[in-house]
Amino acid sequence: MADDSALRETIETEKKRLMKNQRAAALLRKIEDRKAVVGVIGLGYVGLPLAIEFARAGFPVVGFDLDRTKVAKINRGASFIKHISPAAVREISGRPDCRATDDFRLLKKADCILICVPTPLTSHREPDLSYIESTAAAIAAHLRPGQLVVLESTTYPGTTREVVRPPLEAGGLKAGVDFFLAFSPEREDPGNPDFSTGSIPKVVGGVGRECLRLARALYGAIVPRTVAVSSPDAAEATKLLENIFRSINIALVNELKVVFDRMGINIWEVIAAASSKPFGYMPFFPGPGLGGHCIPIDPFYLTWRAHEFEIPTRFIELAGEINTAMPEYVVDRLLHALNDESKSLRGSTVLLLGVAYKRDVDDMRESPSLRLIELLLEHGAKVRYHDPFVGTLPPTRKYRYRLKSTPLTAARLKAADAVLIATDHSCVDYRLVGEAAALVVDTRNVMARVGKVKARVVRA
């Protein structure tokens, strides 16, 4: 009986192996023939460009989003993101086999499902995986054998295995046998003219060999190169390393900015001189704080995870503290600059130039300008802002400002007690700023490129 039991177990194992290979082979053929339906969940700064690239490559695409307004805009060929043109959106809306929808029942029709949802922090700076959890539950409700599921959202190592995999397997299907599961971190840099979704290599880690093989085949259809790693955990760690590297180096120059300013040394001059070294140095630049969807958040995902293993991450946490404190430093510099003019920050009108988190985009995610506004209002200042790409400040998880962009005119500049440059959009007339404003507090060193002006310029 024992031998019969062992034989039956061997036969069942072999059946599963053959079934797995058949399912993997069938999906691989669909991918190679560009017949696999690609479902993209989350049509924001990451998901929408990804959906467009797959549509360009000839795949049928279904984009999923809970925001019906966003879905409607995509389906009529309209863009809601500055650096993505309507013509690019029409790569989806202009094809009968591509569409956006808020009906998640259509997930069952997708052969490959890519998760591109936010991974923010809670108010206690801990990972908020609620978007991933709800998305995994939605997929699980419609999961069928032979589908490939890939998480792209930046997160801590172990999320794919511990958060996404269990609900998908709860119905009886097994990852690597009945369906396929992988992690491939997004590497979007909104507005970057040199690198876009289709030109950046993709790191891929799968739950087993077949999962990795299928994920690489899928992404290999739209990117120049795929980089295989041993597991989803390694792929998750890769994205964290990329952004922690930037966070720490930005924190370094932000700290040096404070130190050198006290010594009467221009940090921007020092960076320019150091950049002349052809080896062993890479320039990073200071600013009013960190913004965007990755660098201000990702390091805290790793520090939180490291605490589970009782490992301190002092270096990473210190960098986070320095970068988070930059808005306070900027406002302190502004306060002292006004004091030198015999003015108080309380009651002064401050015109903030730029509220997007970086130059020439309309992306407000984690923008340090939001914290700057909060601090200025706490000090009793009257805040106005100008941003050619952000007409009205959108509500965020933390802030609900009712402010609209004001036109940048000589009269507005003269009426302000101080102009605070937080984002150096290239289309702003900084010569006008320097000639019409009395005091300019510059966090981006943009006024140094203008040359001599009438305004008093203070670096911050």
Hey, which residues are catalytic here? 294
The answer to whether the CB of 52 falls within 8 A of the CB of 91 is yes
CA angle 281, 283, 289 (to 5 degrees): 140
Residue in 169, 59, 70, 48 with CA at minimum distance from that of residue 116: 48
Asked if residue 384 lies in contact with residue 410, where contact means CB atoms within 8 angstroms, the answer is no
Backbone torsion region of residue 94, taken as left when φ is above 0, otherwise alpha when ψ lies between -120 and 50, otherwise beta: alpha
Q: Give the C-alpha separation, 57 to 221, whole Å.
A: 7
| Long-range CB contacts (within 8 A, 24+) of 104-108 | 104/64, 104/138, 104/141, 104/142, 105/142, 106/39, 106/62, 106/64, 107/39, 107/64, 107/138, 107/139, 107/141, 107/142, 107/143, 108/142, 108/143, 108/144
Contact 405, 377 (CB under 8 A): no
What are the tokens at 289? 């704080």
- C-alpha 346 chain-centroid distance: 35
C-alpha span between 152 and 346 (Å, rounded): 45
**Residue 407 DSSP code:** P
